[in-house]
Amino acid sequence: MSDSEPVHDNPRNTRNLPAVVPPSEMGRTASENWLVRAIRNLFGWKGGNSVRDDLQVVLDASQPDDIGFSAVERTLLRNILDLHERRIADVMVHRADIVAVKRDIPLGELMSLFESASHSRLVVYNDTLDDPEGMVHIRDLLAFMTAQARLPEAVKSKRKKPLPAGLDLRTVDLAMPLADASIIRKLLYVPPSMRAIDLLAQMQASRIHLALVVDEYGGTDGLVSIEDLVEQIVGEIDDEHDSDEPPAIVRQADNSFIADARASLDDVRAVIGEDFVTGEAGEGVETLGGYLVNHVGRLPVRGELISGPGHFEVEVLDADPRRVKRLRIALRKERSTPRIPRERGRREAAPETSTETPIESAPEPNPESGAAPEAGQASGNDNASPPAGDGAGQQ
- Last-in-domain residue among 292, 307, 331: 331
Q: Is there a single domain that holds both residue 265 and residue 314? A: yes
Q: Is there a single domain that holds both residue 120 and residue 197? A: no
Q: Is there a single domain that holds both residue 81 and residue 144? A: no
Classify residue 26: in a domain, yes or no: no
Classify residue 162: in a domain, yes or no: yes
pTM (2 d.p.): 0.59
Q: Is there a single domain that holds both residue 219 and residue 269? A: no
The one-character DSSP state at 167 is: B
Q: Is there a single domain that holds both residue 198 and residue 180? A: no
Q: Is there a single domain that holds both residue 198 and residue 181? A: no
Please tell me the distance from the alpha carbon of residue 291 to that of residue 314, in angstroms, as a whole number: 11
Please tell me the distance from the alpha carbon of residue 161 to that of residue 159, in angstroms, as a whole number: 5
Classify residue 343: in a domain, yes or no: no
Please tell me the distance from the alpha carbon of residue 231 to that of residue 47, in angstroms, as a whole number: 34
Classify residue 321: in a domain, yes or no: yes
Contacts 24+ apart (CB under 8 A), 379-386: 379/354, 382/357, 382/358
Classify residue 388: in a domain, yes or no: no
Q: Is there a single domain that holds both residue 279 and residue 304? A: yes
Contact by Cβ (8 Å): 284, 298: no
Q: Is there a single domain that holds both residue 178 and residue 214? A: no
Instruction: Report the pLDDT value the prediction gives residue 347, as an integer from 0 to 100.
Output: 53
Q: Is there a single domain that holds both residue 273 and residue 324? A: yes
Classify residue 4: in a domain, yes or no: no
Query: CA end-to-end span of the chain, whole Å?
Result: 151
DSSP string, 233-274: HH-----TT---PPPSEEE-TTS-EEEETTSBHHHHHHHH-T
The residue segments making up the domain with residue 223 are 188-236
Give residue 22's identity as a one-letter amino acid code.
Answer: P
Q: What is the CATH number of the domain that holds 220?
A: 3.10.580.10
* pLDDT tens digits in sequence order for the chain, 395 residues long: 444 444 444 444 444 444 444 444 444 444 455 666 666 666 555 554 577 777 777 777 766 666 677 778 888 888 888 888 889 998 999 888 899 999 999 999 999 999 888 889 999 999 999 999 999 999 999 999 999 988 887 777 777 777 787 788 888 999 999 999 999 999 999 999 999 999 999 999 999 999 999 999 889 999 999 999 998 988 877 766 666 666 688 888 888 999 988 888 888 988 998 888 888 888 888 889 889 988 888 989 999 999 888 889 999 998 887 788 889 999 887 655 555 555 555 555 555 444 444 444 445 545 444 444 444 444 444 444 444 444 444 43
Lateral strand order in the sheet of 132-137 = 100-102, 121-125, 132-137, 184-185
**Is 322 in a helix, a strand, or coil?**
coil
- For the chain, what is the domain count? 4
Region of residue 303 (left: phi > 0; alpha: psi -120 to 50; beta: else): left
Q: What is the CATH number of the domain that holds 103?
A: 3.90.1280.20
- Last-in-domain residue among 298, 331, 364: 331
Q: Is there a single domain that holds both residue 72 and residue 38? A: yes
Classify residue 392: in a domain, yes or no: no
Classify residue 357: in a domain, yes or no: no
Give residue 44's identity as a one-letter amino acid code.
Answer: G
